[in-house]
């Protein structure tokens, strides 16, 4: 079991490290969020890749990003990002991002950016769920587990989470696991009005919460079972105001051969779809005995 008594980054830490530093026209470097295991957080480095790509497409905002995680990397050291400008059309711009550490590729991503175009506007109906204000904070839900894992379940987090369905630790006590978890979330502090930064923060958080559905179906939690992101894709449908609550409707439709698939449809408070994301996790080979 990996060490989970980790330092949890503050929102300021996350925002600061998502702002990559430019070292050339198409080259960037970014600090990682260290932890006791020194593993690079998948959603975080994906958000950095998206930020780097966006810096080469001024005046356009991201509408999708597709990421493959290739190596784990070391969070104690920075990561270099190179952006290839594959195309700039009248409406769409496409970028390829390669993240390297010590010359080894950690991540490959394709990101697409667009300008507004008039067209049909529709979206799926948001699930009928309780308002976030009527739900207990996750630390209150898990208060009786405060002594487990050095306080992991009740630690201070950069995002406020309000679960509609049982959070993973409580799900362990249910007779049958559920492949669906719905939760409201928002940053614990105000976030500046920046559509690209908000998209990068959505990328970061989806890399953390979506995997809970696939892990729960294994009768485990992400704190007690090995798991690693293999790939990650997001479609940004509408600008999102991260100073208000976002509902993430998360579902794991399938698992096979040591992999688990997870999806999320995210809604703003008014019920509009703001983002749809998918990811696949690797749980490792079964061990003898």
Whether 42 contacts 232, CB under 8 Å:
yes
Give the model's pLDDT for residue 52: 98
Domains of the chain and CATH, by start: 11-116+127-282 (2.40.160.210)
pLDDT, block means (10 residues), the chain with 289 residues: 52 95 97 91 96 97 97 95 97 98 96 92 93 95 91 90 94 91 94 94 91 89 84 95 94 92 96 96 67
Taking alpha carbons only, the member of 57, 58, 48 closest to residue 28 is 48
> pTM to 2 decimals?
0.92
Q: Note the pLDDT of residue 249.
A: 97
pLDDT at residue 289, as a whole number: 39
Report whether 78 contacts 102 (CB < 8 A). Answer: no
Helix (H) or strand (E) holding 53: helix 42-54
Q: What is residue 1's predicted lDDT score, i.e. its pLDDT? A: 22
Residues forming beta bridges with residue 99, ordered by sequence position: 81, 107
Positions of E strands within the chain = 21-24, 27-30, 61-69, 79-88, 92-101, 104-114, 159-163, 180-187, 228-236, 246-256, 259-267, 273-282
């Amino acid at each position: 079991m990996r060490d989970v008594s980790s330092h949890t980054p503050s929102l300021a830490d996350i925002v600061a490290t998502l702002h990559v530093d430019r070292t050339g026209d198409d080259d960037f470097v970014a600090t990682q969020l260290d932890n006791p295991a020194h593993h690079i957080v998948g959603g975080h480095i994906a958000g950095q890749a998206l930020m780097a790509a966006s810096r080469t497409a001024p005046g356009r905002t991201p509408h999708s990003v597709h990421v493959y995680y290739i190596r784990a990397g070391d969070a104690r050291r920075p990561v270099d990002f190179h952006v290839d400008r594959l195309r700039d059309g009248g409406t769409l711009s496409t970028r390829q991002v390669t993240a390297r550490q010590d010359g080894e590729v950690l991540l490959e991503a394709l990101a697409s950016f667009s300008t507004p175009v008039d067209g049909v506007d529709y979206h799926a109906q948001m699930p009928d769920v309780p308002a976030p204000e009527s739900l207990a904070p996750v630390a209150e839900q898990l208060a009786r587990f405060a002594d487990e894992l050095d306080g992991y379940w009740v630690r201070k987090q950069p995002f406020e989470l309000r679960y509609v369905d049982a959070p993973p630790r409580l799900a362990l006590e249910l007779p049958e696991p559920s492949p669906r978890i719905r939760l409201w979330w928002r940053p614990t502090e105000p976030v500046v009005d920046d559509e690209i930064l908000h998209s990068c923060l959505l990328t970061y958080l989806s890399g953390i919460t979506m995997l809970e559905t696939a892990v729960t179906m294994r009768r485990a939690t992400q704190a007690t079972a090995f798991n690693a992101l293999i790939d990650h894709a997001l479609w940004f449908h509408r600008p999102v105001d991260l100073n208000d609550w976002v509902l993430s409707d998360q579902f794991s439709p399938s698992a096979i051969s040591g992999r688990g698939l997870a999806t999320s449809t995210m809604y703003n408070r008014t019920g509009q779809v703001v983002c749809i994301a998918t990811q696949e996790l690797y749980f490792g080979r079964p061990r003898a005995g």
